[in-house]
Structure 1
Amino acid sequence: MTFVSDLFAIALGGSIGAVLRYLITLTVVSAPLSGWLTLHGSVGTTLANLLGCCALGGLFQFSQALVASDWVATGWAASLAHPRTLLAVRIGVLGSLTTFSTLIGETAVFASQGRILASSMLLGINVIAGWCLFWAAAAVVRNWTS
């Protein structure tokens, strides 16, 4: 029963993350952006990836605080601390919100069009900014839980 419940939690989280990703992309595509920015779908992917990295960094540190210290989660944090909830958020929501395969596909399209700079910038922004946001969020949560 536990395994099946975990799968359902991940599936529920995945559906939430997929809808969030779609809404982010729709919002970016429909936003009036400046004329030089023609990569609307890529901006949506980047925004989803960066938000996901930030959330994952915070969740990572939250999990670390639960395991490695005397800090005790209360209220909503206690609900988030449940292993099944962590699975639903980490693998389900954030797994479907962030999309490495979409990122690689978009960079490949730009590269195949000869837009090497756009391809490289898109990949670099996602990887470097994502890494920075992950650790920045972890630091914020570390301060919150200590």
Structure 2
Amino acid sequence: MTNMIAVALGAAVGANLRYLLSGWVAQQMGSTFPYGTMLVNIVGCLVIGALLTLAATRITLSEPLRLLLVTGLLGGFTTFSSFGYEAFALIGEGNWVGAAIYMASSLGLGLLAVFLGAGAVRLLISG
């Protein structure tokens, strides 16, 4: 139960941070390009890289704290940070082919899934 509460609290904070930062960036830069989302994704990748490297080399994170910060906060902020770190981990293991497949398929299949989901909804609402 403690782990679930940690994830929930982190996710609530992360999602609100994403909302606030994305909204602020859109006000500053305009909304013709998703600058806010791009910034959130880049910041999330920076933070997860720093945090998990610190956790692997310098500090010990308890399971609830790791869940609060990584799964909850960063997961609520952006799941792209997890994608970035997992690709980084594959490269770090020397699995360049696996990393390339993971990155290309995640992006390509993710975009395809968006198109399929949007198409399915259009079909459903058009009759």
Count the aligned residue pairs. Answer: 85
* Structural mapping, 1:1-146, within 5 Å: 4-31=1-28, 33=29, 38-39=32-33, 42-66=34-58, 73=59, 81-100=61-80
Q: How far is the alpha carbon of 1:30 from its aligned partner?
A: 1.1
Amino acid at match of 2:27: S
TM-aligned CA deviation for residue 82 of structure 1: 2.3
- Distance (Å, rounded) in 2 between the aligned partners of 1:49 and 1:82: 25
Partner SS for 1:38: coil
CA distance in 1, matches of 2:25, 2:6: 29
Q: Identity of counterpart residues, as a percentage? A: 33
Higher RCO, Cα 8 Å, sep 6+: 1
Paired letter, 2:32:
T
Q: Which amino acid aligns with 2:23?
A: L
Structure 2: give runs of 5+ residues left out of the alignment: 81-106, 116-127
Kindly report the root-mean-square deviation, in angstroms, between the aligned alpha carbons of the 2 structures. Answer: 2.5
CA shift for structure 1 position 83: 2.1
Taking structure 1 as the reference length, the TM-score comes to 0.51
- Counterpart of 1:61 in structure 2: which amino acid? T
For residue 29 of structure 1, report the CA deviation from its aligned partner: 1.4
Counterpart of 2:96 in structure 1 is none
Name the counterpart of 1:113.
none
Q: Give 1:99 shift.
A: 4.2
**TM-score between the two structures when normalised by the length of structure 2:** 0.58
